[in-house]
């Protein structure tokens, strides 16, 4: 059985807590900053159950964080993202795992888009920068 056949795209009922913990640990591996999880499950028009938002200090770090998330989720959870957007410029890379969408920002780009303010009705959990 080849590797692609054993990988699956996450389903909306996938264990979000385990996936989110793995994503946050993957961000902390690469020293991602200002990590926040937004719980959107109680917001009817939300595009996902969770947003995980973080930032890097350079385009290289933003790309490194994204690559680490993708690699670890693929290897450890056997899941592939539905879509990845923004890798070319690495100012804002979005990784869509259906129930969880990860936003990895370059610091200035994060401030410009201010997703935390746009989704201020969400339940926020902040995580330590290691």
Average model confidence (pLDDT) across the chain: 90
pLDDT, residue 123, reads 95
Global pTM reads 0.87
Most confidently predicted of 1-5, 32-36, 41-45: 32-36
pLDDT digits (tens, 9 = 90+) for 48-68: 999 999 999 999 999 999 999
From residue 10, alpha-carbon distances to 17, 38, 98 in Å are: 13, 19, 7
- Write the DSSP assignment of 15-83 as a string of letters: -HHHHHHHHHHHHHHTT-EEEEEEE-TT-TT-SSSEEEEEEESSHHHHHHHHHHHHHHIIIII-B--SE
Cα 126 from Cα 12, distance rounded (Å): 23
Tell me: pLDDT of 94 over 60.
Answer: yes
Record the tokens describing residue 2, joined without a space. Answer: 């080849």
List the chain domain ranges. Answer: 30-127
pLDDT-based confidence at residue 76 (cuts at 50, 70, 90): very high
The CATH class given to the 30-127 domain equals: alpha beta
Question: Which pLDDT belongs to residue 56?
Answer: 96
pLDDT above 60: residue 42? yes
| List of E strands, the chain | 33-39, 50-56, 83-85, 92-97, 100-106, 123-127
Lowest mean pLDDT among 11-20, 29-38, 69-78: 11-20
- For residue 53, the model assigns a pLDDT of 98
């Amino acid at each position: 059985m080849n590797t692609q056949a054993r990988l699956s795209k996450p389903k909306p009922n996938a264990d979000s807590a385990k996936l989110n913990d793995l994503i946050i640990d993957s961000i902390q591996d690469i020293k991602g900053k200002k990590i926040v999880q937004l719980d959107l499950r109680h917001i009817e028009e939300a595009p996902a159950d969770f947003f995980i938002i973080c930032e890097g200090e350079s385009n290289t770090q933003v790309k490194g964080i994204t690559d680490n998330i993708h690699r670890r989720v693929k290897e450890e959870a056997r899941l592939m993202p539905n879509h990845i957007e923004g890798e070319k410029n690495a100012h804002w890379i979005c990784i869509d795992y259906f129930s969880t969408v990860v936003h990895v920002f370059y610091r200035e780009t994060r401030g410009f888009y201010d997703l935390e303010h746009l989704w201020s009705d969400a339940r926020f959990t902040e995580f330590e920068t290691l």
